[in-house]
Amino acid sequence: MRGRIPDSFIDELLARVDIVDVIERRVPLKKAGREWTACCPFHNERSPSFYVSPAKQFYHCFGCGAHGSAVKFLMDYERLEFPDAVEELAQSVGLTVPREGGDDRPREDKTDLYSLLDSAASWYEKELPRSAEAQAYCKKRGLDAQTIQRFRIGWAPAGFDGVIKALGGNDRRMKLLNEAGMVASNERGNRYDRFRERLMFPILDRRGRVIAFGGRIIPSASPAHEGQEAGASARTPQKEPGPKYLNSPETPLFHKGRELFALWQVKQANASLARIVVVEGYMDVIAMHQAGLPIAVATLGTATTPEHTEVLFRAAPDVVFCFDGDRAGRAAAWKALESALPRLRDGRQAYFLFLPDGEDPDTLIRKEGKDGFEKRLKAATPLSEYFFGELAHDVDTGSLDGRARLAERARPLIARLPDGAFRDLMAQELEKRTGARATLNTTPAPRATVNRPTVVQRSLVRSAIALLLSQPGVADQVERPYGFLRLDKPGVELLAELIDTARSRPGINPAMLVEHFAERAEYPALQKLMAAMVVGEPEAQRAEFFDALRRMEQQAVIQRRDWLTAKSREGTLDSAEKTELRELLAARVTTPSA
């Protein structure tokens, strides 16, 4: 049991999910015989060395060595902890993750924090209908009831202790409110609600849990200044109403450089996502979703980070960055381009859409409708065009000096692209525009001579384990007591334990069997054996497995005979051992090859 999730549930989960479906939703796969293949998502490569086995419910990359079950893939690909990967897989097949151990939870369990933030979102939602000005603003912005419900939009009322009174209650709850970033403190240590007189937008994680909030001032509201001391009048007019948008601070659950507003809603609305759009504001996102374009997300008060671009490209192969056409918008776009460059593996594309002065997605989509905004998206500038246009905007490419300047600007940026066709074409385009060769100062990684592994000679014990991992069902036909257990060689007891585990769980698949040893020192070795190529048809593999067990039993007999023979030379055999040795010598068992 890991993280108090029962092993029996992990078995059921891995039996219900298909690793091909899990991976194909994130990485394009191609059929290759009995397996599926792709370019590895964990390292840059030109030719596929990443294989997914439906029979084993296991993936393996013969380039970088990444391998594992569907749970391990989610952990590595989505950067999830084990419990979160299990939760996400379970949700995809309609299972609820059970927990064991009652209230004695591990220290890292953040269940109470998630629960508190969800309660805060519910409280803000209930406050929205009670505010005439908030209702009027929502109506003015064209938000319908369904959209308000889908995004759980709420209202933080005036006053310094609304959330504290509603959710505080005791010292433990106040500590959680502080940890969640819901309260702030003044110089005298008095605590007060961080969000006041703001339209509230819950920020959800990839599993739909509330992890933070964004709060927007509405024109008719005059929120108390953020630094005003608790106890002052909540309606005292202020000259400095605070920022237009206020986000939660960094917390154990919320890291704004990694999260995207509305990514959960996008994934809920799109079973398969070909394109995702990054806009600047919460209302821009919501307007697009309400207009029938549920493909928009927003960064959370920060420039686009490398972590953002990785999450975006994992969600969709095409990413459109949508910014204002002013100086600030173009500066933000360039930062997004720099973050995207190292992640533009073949098959991924980035585009840039700059909006007319004074317009944003919210206003444009209300003026032009869904079809009009779709046309703008389709006409977005490809990254390559924006890249060279921006670098050359103040350069005279008609002169030798100007072309040299462009080459010097572009070379280090092109060098940041992953090895692949797009990088080659960008280097060719630079040479075409400047005449200068795009020397990227990188040494290509040595190409592997083969993508598939060679069949290596291994010990009988390792061979038997590899064959068992290929077909756990053969364990049902192994008779007890296990004769091979008398063999004194590494791995024999592990083989017996694997057989016992497989026998106790009829129908267990290879990935499920290996996951039972996830917290054991043998786990990495079992994963490597799982990834090893087992030659032959299933029936031939079955025969080879039982032949390996038979030969191990023979080795055990010979090992015992040799030991008794050596002991007899010392003259220390008792009568029972002498009888046993005579029987073994009479049997004349020949040494089987290892």
For residue 481, is the peptide bond before it cis, meaning its omega torsion is within 30 degrees of 0? yes
Q: What is the pLDDT of residue 163?
A: 94
Q: What is the pLDDT of residue 413?
A: 95
CA distances from 552 to 138, 461, 500 (A): 76, 8, 18
3-state SS of the chain: helix, strand, coil percent to 5?
Answer: 45, 10, 40
> How many Cβ atoms are within 10 Å of 590's Cβ, its own excluded?
6
**CA distance linking residue 389 with residue 122, whole number of Å:** 48
Q: What CATH fold (topology level) applies to the domain 111-254?
A: DNA primase DNAg catalytic core, N-terminal domain (3.90.980)
Q: What is the DSSP letter of 207?
A: T
**What are the tokens at 210?**
């509330």
**CA distance linking residue 160 with residue 409, whole number of Å:** 52
> 3-class DSSP state for residue 298?
strand
Q: What CATH fold (topology level) applies to the domain 460-587?
A: DNAb Helicase; Chain A (1.10.860)
DSSP 261-280: BTHHHHHHH-SS-SEEEEES
Along the chain (594 residues), what's the average pLDDT of each consecutive run of 10 residues?
74 90 89 90 84 90 88 86 86 81 50 93 97 95 95 95 91 93 88 95 92 90 47 40 86 92 94 91 95 96 90 92 91 95 88 94 94 96 97 90 94 91 93 82 42 52 88 89 87 92 86 84 84 69 89 86 85 82 73 52
Element (H, E) at 431: helix 421-434
**CA distance linking residue 420 with residue 300, whole number of Å:** 32
111-254 has the same fold as 7-92:
no
Element (H, E) at 566: helix 538-569
Cα–Cα nearest to 159, from 102, 221, 97:
221
Q: What is the pLDDT of residue 80?
A: 78
Q: Confirm if 69 and 77 have CB atoms less than 8 A apart.
A: no
**CA distance linking residue 536 with residue 477, whole number of Å:** 20
pTM, full prediction: 0.69
> 3-class DSSP state for residue 225?
coil
Q: What is the pLDDT of residue 150?
A: 96
Q: Confirm if 321 and 304 have CB atoms less than 8 A apart.
A: yes
Cα–Cα nearest to 62, from 447, 518, 467, 512:
447
Altogether, the residues listed in the chain come to a count of 594
Cα–Cα nearest to 549, from 452, 482, 455:
482
Q: What is the DSSP letter of 536?
A: S
Q: What is the pLDDT of residue 220?
A: 63
Rounded to an integer, what is the distance from CA 562 to the centroid of its chain? 55
**What are the tokens at 464?**
């038997």
The three state secondary structure string of 456-506 is: CCCCHHHHHHHHHHHCHHHHHHCCCCCHHHHCCCCCHHHHHHHHHHHHHCC
Q: What is the pLDDT of residue 233?
A: 39
Q: Confirm if 158 and 204 have CB atoms less than 8 A apart.
A: no
Locate the domains of the chain by residue range: 7-92, 111-254, 392-434, 460-587
Q: Give the residue ranges of DSSP H helices in 299-382.
A: 306-315, 327-340, 361-378
Q: How many helices (H) and strands (E) does the chain have?
A: 23, 16
Q: What CATH number should be reported for the domain whose range is 392-434?
A: 1.20.50
Q: What is the DSSP letter of 216?
A: E
Determine whether domain 7-92 maps to CATH 3.90.580.10.
Answer: yes
Neighbouring residues of 161: CB distance < 8 A, sequence distance ≥ 6 = 192, 193, 230
